[in-house]
A and B are shown apart, each in its own frame.
Chain A
Amino acid sequence: MGRPGFVLDVDERTPPLLMHEGEGFRLERLPLGSRVIYPPESLPGIVDLEGAIRHALLHPHGSDPLPQLLRRGMRLTIVFDDLSLPLPQMRTPDIRQRVIEQVLELAAAAGVDDVELIAANSLHRRMTPAELKRAVGERVFRAFHPDHLRNHDAEDPDDLAHLGTTPHGEDVEINRRAAESDLIVYVNITLTAMNGGSKSVAVGLASYASLRHHHNVHTLRHSRSFNDPPHSAMHQSYDRMADVIGGQVPVFTIETTLNNEPFPTALRFLTRREWEWNLTDQASYLAVKRSNDLATGKLRRRIWQATEAPYGITGVHAGAPTQVHPHTLAAVHHQQLTEVQGQADVAIFGLPYICPYNVNSIMNPILVMSLGLGYFFNLYRGKPIVRQGGVAIFYHPMPHEFHPVHHPSYIDFYELLAETTDPVMLETKYEKQFATDPWYTHLYRTSYAYHGVHPFYMWYWGAHAMQHLADVIFVGGNRSTTARLGFRAASSLADALELARDTVGANPEISYLHAPPMVLADVR
């Protein structure tokens, strides 16, 4: 059994600590007295995974067993989480494949002919055939692709159905095939507490008309944090929409949770506590770091993106979404929650090479911002790890690089930041223009581009942090891109703390969130 997470007080015995910085990492000596929030150690994965999936399907929460929901002549739609989960991509066979295969076995036994599989990519880029095959496996891919295994298209007017509005006047518009099915089976991977639950169908299969009700500055500023669903305005909106959907089409969800093994054995040192590194870990660190630093940018990216996570599955729960999700959240908390007493003046985060939107792609500056001020800042329950008016220090080189196929609207959005970085201003003045731009829509539907509005959502993702923090500093960040985003760059931690001095004084309290692996700070 893994040890629980804990908060380390940096003392004179503490060796330099590992810090991710994009497609690289370093050791950093933190000032004495700094606190370091470590995640719980990885829990063991389920050994008999096939048995666990079968058990979940046959003994669901708040629902009849899946075989009883399947019948000859029905319309069955199997929806699964897209490329953005898990991170990094897990070693094959992917858990989605394992679950979908068992669902299809039951469907075949029940004589269901009309089966459609849809990737819940929402406004994300479409998955390529190779990516789809990787997620669902060879057998499923061969049997259903391309006609019955496809990506959700949020801009296809013929394949969208407006199911009504919530009591708050929010439009609920989702994929028509799913909406008109006799049963939706949703196959989920919950990597963080924000995933799964009502979000799955209400967001994964939604259109812009529906998403704009919760993916906006106001909602995100009132989602504290969006990794704490009971205190997230965004999740409350998801819940309202899920009620509307659930009233019209039955949803049987299968949620899976992961342990904290995001890196293969050769990179084991990335997940071990530094004072416990043995000679092998130290040699691996040195060898990987030197090779990584010497590699060209392209090669480095290719290697990191090819890294497969040996994730173990800690839980499989199936049934009615509202009944299943509490079990899923409990499993996530068991693996990721670390209790922290009080907030700091300065929070430090080492940002890794990957976020949900640059799988097999480039992490552009907007995505770096969203990863740092969005995802990492919001890895808390209760209160942020840094106080209101504090400073956040991130490690990332933030190069001025964009993927022209995957992120075309990001390139234009980046230019807008020269005019303003205020999320509200950007939302009111430019969001609709980008969201309805026919060229972006064309690229989203026919190429592999993120939707035109997606960079705005990324920017809103950091709206709560921008409001909360007095200053944001990127150690090692490219000066011009950092400045364009409205932040500051520092060449070292000492310089960053010097810059922060005007805001938090000479002897600030410092907390470093030691992630990945995933940790959710439970700040009291």
Chain B
Amino acid sequence: MSGLRDDLRLLRHGRDWRGRSRVPRSAQRWEQPDNGDDFPTAWARTAAAVALRSALQQAMLKPVIWSQTRPVVHGREYLDSVRGPAVFVANHSSHLDTPLILGALPTRITRKLAVGAAADYFFDSRTVAAATTLLFNAFPVERRARRGRSLAAELVDSGWSLLLYPEGSRTVDGWLTGFKLGAAQLCSMKGIPAVPIALRGTFAAMPRGRRWPQPGRPRVSVRIGRPLRIEADETVPEFRIRLVRAVATLWAEDDLGWYGALRAAADDSLALPTGSHSALPTTASGQPAQDDDVASWRRIWEATRPPADDGPRQVWTD
């Protein structure tokens, strides 16, 4: 038995729970383009799979997530106007994000919602791919290829809404990073609305590397914004900037309040990501940091600060 234990220990060394190893730096140049988009996902969009998924999400996923965290959902009313396919774009810092959004959206939307998932992460093992596809109706997104073959356009044509994380990956410091063009491009190409969603607190609750939320039911917020459509005279990059700004405004609501965030957006004083750099962290005073070159620990420090409790407004203050 000790032989088996030793073999297992060596085999597990440096691998995550899915058995994936990080790529040694000197091997990154030779990384193989993942062929996760070869994994069949059509079965997950059949009526039977939709019914099973709906049951799993409502009876299992949502109760578990809602029991481990304290989600607060705002802006669900903006979705009344969404009929037909739309692209939901959200910031991404945790594996909690997808279950939270699925739990926050109305069932009429989630039943026709497919989630873009990194091909090289979720689809390299068939077991993980099958589970992800069934539970989240995931489809593989090739995040490294410049113009990867993707199912997204076909899904929209078939009437499916999509949940995409245009940052491409979970952030390492909890702050917004730049959006890729794909989501804006898709909205432009198909003439469908984009719904911005901002998640706060998920980085603090379950950052990269954690497999379960922090104990103590950390508070998380899901803020849904008004659907946006590309204007006739707007280019795709401009629409992308509008999307980033919309998510950043929702994001800032936790610090600045609804009106304060709107004012900051109007004043153009919101902290936005630039290029590959994260947005500047908002300080405890509610103002974005001034210095462009903010140390990584400060970003993480601010991102893990427990969000203010959304309890009843205090009438009597000191």
Residues of A at the B interface (CB closer than 8 Å) are 3-4, 6-11, 13-16, 26-27, 29, 273-280, 282, 285-286, 289-290, 293
Contact = CB atoms under 8 A, between A and B. Distances in A.
B19 A13 contact: no
A279 B3 contact: no
A144 B10 CA distance: 53
B24 A275 contact: yes
A108 to B, nearest CB: 47
Contact of B26 (A3, A7, A293): A7
Main secondary structure of the interface of A (DSSP, over half): mixed
Given A15-B15, A277-B19, A279-B125, A290 B24 contact: no
Contacts, number: 75
B19 A289 contact: no
A279 B27 contact: no
B23 A13 contact: yes
Contacts of A290: 3-4, 7
Given A15-B13, A16-B10, A277-B19, A9 B124 contact: no
Chain B interface residue count: which class?
20 to 34
Contacts of A273: 27
A373 to B, nearest CB: 28
Contact of B14 (A6, A7, A15, A289): A15
A6 B27 contact: yes
A287 to B, nearest CB: 10
A40 to B, nearest CB: 10
B24 A13 contact: yes
B144 interface: no
25 contacts: A3-B30, A6-B30, A8-B26, A8-B27, A9-B24, A9-B25, A11-B25, A13-B14, A13-B23, A13-B24, A14-B24, A15-B15, A16-B10, A26-B10, A29-B10, A274-B21, A275-B22, A277-B21, A278-B19, A279-B128, A280-B126, A282-B15, A286-B8, A290-B3, A293-B3
Nearest to B4: A290
B32 interface: yes
B25 A275 contact: no
B11 A282 contact: yes
Contacts of B27: 6, 8, 273, 275
A474 B18 CA distance: 35
A77 B25 CA distance: 55
Contacts of B8: 286
B7 A14 contact: no
Which of A11, A15, A26, A285 has the most chain B CB atoms closer than 10 A to its own CB? A15
Given A3-B32, A282-B19, A290-B3, A10 B127 contact: no
Nearest 4 Cβ contacts at the A-B interface? A13-B22, A275-B21, A9-B26, A15-B21
B24 A8 contact: yes
Contact of A279 (B22, B23, B26, B127): B127
Given A11-B25, A275-B27, 14 more contacts: A6-B30, A11-B26, A13-B23, A15-B15, A16-B10, A16-B11, A273-B27, A274-B21, A277-B19, A278-B19, A279-B18, A279-B19, A286-B8, A290-B7
Interface in B1-59: 3-4, 7-8, 10-11, 13-15, 18-19, 21-27, 29-30, 32
A26 B7 CA distance: 8
A317 B10 CA distance: 45
Interface string B121-147: 000111110000000000000000000
B270 to A, nearest CB: 36
